[in-house]
Structure 1
Amino acid sequence: MIADSGTRLTTRLDDLPGLAGVTFGPSSWRTITQSEVDRYAVLSEDRNPIHIDPVAAAATPFGTTIVHGYLTLGLVVPLMAEVFEVTGFGVGINYGLNRLRFPAPLPVGSRVRVTGVVESVSEIEGGYQVEPTVTFEIEGGTKPACVAEMVLRYYR
């Protein structure tokens, strides 16, 4: 296991069992633009005005458009790739989520980054299952935009 200045965690497949309790991150900050939200709305067919209509969104308790929760979650791939790496495996998969919450709205134009902790590692047939909790911090915010208890599998 290699931890680079407490930020990037790089480990080999066979070293995964020793990672329980290890933290990683934060990643770099990522700004989410209205253009990205609009494109996601088209792709997902989630055209809720709170995401894409600045006039309608201004009249809500949020006062502005907010990022789709699942768009925020989808950023876990590039942001986590900056701070968590497993090497020496054949294939890795996103096995799912144990729990997912969106504690605070993420205003469009805000910046987010991820931090994480490896909660557990268990042996499975042909590899390991890793369960990290990943938190999306909003710059200047008091609550996270997203907290995801992920389940990842790495096979030899």
Structure 2
Amino acid sequence: MTKQFDSVASVMAAVGADLGATGWLTLAQERIDLFAEATGDHQWIHVDPERAREGPFGACVAHGYLTLSLANVFLPQLVHYERLRMGVNYGCNKVRFPAPVKAGQRVRGRGEVIAAAPQGDGVQVTVRVTVEVEGSERPGCVVETISLLYFDE
């Protein structure tokens, strides 16, 4: 269920809020291959299923940065901003990749608002996104995303 915010005050009041989880997304080999093409990272652990089967993970694994980029897929499923004039991606804190994500595994995003501070006439909000891997105790990625939000108030 997407959490809705419509003002600086509503974002500020949400610090500590659990944003819940998104639906599951299968991280298919095709997506991994497209990411390899886009970034030029064709390391065999990502794109050579035959060789990767004999490697340390027993299968191809998603690039860490591909797993990180899924935060951009999951955030709009976790939060929705009404009357948003402009939102700017400001950066990230504490990016970690605790577990590999194998090709074909399902992942989902889980969110939590961990900080918010006034920024001019807007608000800087930090949302922790955890990319959970189905069947794994450890997540594929944990990232603190930072956004600057400006509302029509």
Q: TM-score, normalised by structure 1?
A: 0.92
Q: Structure 1: which 5+ residue stretches go unaligned?
A: 1-6
| Per-residue deviation, residues 73-117 of structure 1 (Å, max 9, x unmatched) | 212222221121122221101100111000000000000001111
Aligned residues: 150
2:101 aligns with: 106
Which of 4, 7, 21 matches 1:13? 7
Task: Give the 4+ runs in structure 1 shifted more than 6 A.
Answer: none
2:36 aligns with: 41
Which of 119, 136, 139 matches 1:141? 136
Q: TM-score, normalised by structure 2?
A: 0.94
Q: What is the identity, as a one-letter code, of the residue corresponding to 1:9?
A: K
Among the aligned pairs, what percent are the same residue? Answer: 35
Please say if residues 93 and 153 of structure 1, whose CA atoms lie closer than 8 Å, have aligned partners that are also in contact.
yes
Which of 113, 122, 127 matches 1:127? 122
Equivalent-residue separation in structure 2 for 1:28 and 1:71 (angstroms): 18
Please say if residues 99 and 150 of structure 1, whose CA atoms lie closer than 8 Å, have aligned partners that are also in contact.
no
1:116 aligns with: 111
Q: Structure 2: which 5+ residue stretches go unaligned?
A: none
Q: What is the identity, as a one-letter code, of the residue corresponding to 1:136?
A: V
Please state if 1:72 is matched with 2:85: no
Which of 2, 22, 29 matches 1:27? 22
RMSD: 1.1
Equivalent-residue separation in structure 2 for 1:112 and 1:132 (angstroms): 18
Equivalent-residue separation in structure 1 for 2:137 and 2:56 (angstroms): 17
